[in-house]
Structure 1
Amino acid sequence: MSARPKALVTGASSGIGAVYADRLVRLGHDVVLVARDEARLRALAERLQGEHGDARIEVLRADLLDRADLARVEARLRDDDAIALLVNNAGISAAGSFIDADPDKLETIITLNATVVTRLALAAAKRFVARGSGTIVNIGSVTALMPESFEPVYLATKAYVLALSQSLQQQLEPRGVRVQAVLPGMTRTEIWERSGVDPQALPPDMLMEASELVDAALAGLDMGETVTIPSLPDAEAWDEFNAQRRRLGPFLSRRHAAERYRLAIE
């Protein structure tokens, strides 16, 4: 039996997920690759196996929007005690005007980017807490901090991922479980074409390679960060932002409305 730790990576057939799989195998993990495209998963698995013969690479083909497939992945996270790391990476984007959007497409975005992330995190957390160790990495987006700047439903799901991760870290850290939210900026992946955006039209000085993003995210995990923003030059800027948010806490729920509202009513 392999003594290597095992990671399960969703959205592993390309882009950020495929790079995570590559890096984790290099770091000594076995990996379970999860995505819809079985052919691409098997090609990746063959490459990784050829480069790292001592690793165990498993393909778990699943469409996470299918309830039966999702249940299989959840069961794997709950039942496989060798899994020590979940990379919750699968997601989809959107582009265009909210009022022109297809409501079914919006629901799909919410389901995959928020509901599926939550269910997989819960399945992993149950196993990790029972064991007293484990790590959950949730891939969000800097758009969570930029609500004026992007398609509203996608960025709302990423704001959810950020808040979920921060809250889970507070709950789970005392029980031995790490939670990290990674907030990529624009990253060179297939998500642009899938959402109808020409990547050639994106500002080249704002477009990070997936390999650099994942390397930075793993470094942030090693540094103990709960929130990793690979492109942010000054980590203190995030610390200050977060501290200011926390300072609002005592004033967010009080017996009476703030004076400015009472004066307006009078």
Structure 2
Amino acid sequence: MAEADRVPAGINPDVPSVARMYDYYLGGRDNFASDREAAEKMIEIGRAMGNDARQIALANRGFLGRAVRMLAEAGVRQFIDIGAGLPTQDNVHQVAQRQAPGSRIVYVDNDPIVLTHARALLARDPDVLAVEGDLKDVDAILDDPRVTGHLDLTQPFAILLVAVLHFIPDNAEADRIAARVRARLGTGGHLVLSHLYEGNASDGAAAKASNKVYSGTASGGIAARGYDDIAPYFAGLDLLGPGIVRVADWTADASPDGSYDFVKSGILAGVGRVPA
């Protein structure tokens, strides 16, 4: 099928999508020429800094799977994945339901093509729901009747903000969103979060080049942040696992000899639990 023939109604294939760019990094095929062109620009920018965008994306996906598996094993049965992106292998519901059949999941995204793919994939699974929503309005997501009808938000649940908050370039806005998520979780709730990390590889020219690429997407930009910016997103939560570390340290195939450089990991990740 020609690429032009598989464009859903309402989608402009000439405007890159962060979800489809991520799909390309992961080796997927649900992307268009504009997405591949933008992603290749980011790969080249990363290569000049000694990073590998595809390796970073795969490590981030590994973190997502490990975190969901850990929470399911600990008894969490409800997950809300905000900025879920395009379906790929080992999606949240697949990981959770392998550990705990009957786990209920809500996927949230504001990209129409993501929702089209997600709803097609999930049509036969009554325990999984995909809804349109905006990360900037957490309350609208959690108060959506479809969400409250699918989940029991009086019971513990996890909110996943995996590689999404860095698409909020304004620091104050990102802080506000994270604070609102923590406020809505309730006792026993969990925050699963990963975020682009600037580290010692911070480079003004590279940052500007990256932001230029992503400013051409619907996200409007991207912001790598330092550890001291990312750690407060977990304020008041008990950190689980290895803490706020590179995504590679969350995966089973993390380099045992430490050769996977902290700076080059590109993304920091953590899981926090609301204490009793």
Structure-1-length-normalised TM-score: 0.46
Name whichever structure is richer in helix by fraction.
1
Higher Rg of the two aligned structures: 1
RCO comparison, higher one (Cα < 8 Å, 6+):
2
TM-score between both structures, scaled by the size of structure 2: 0.44
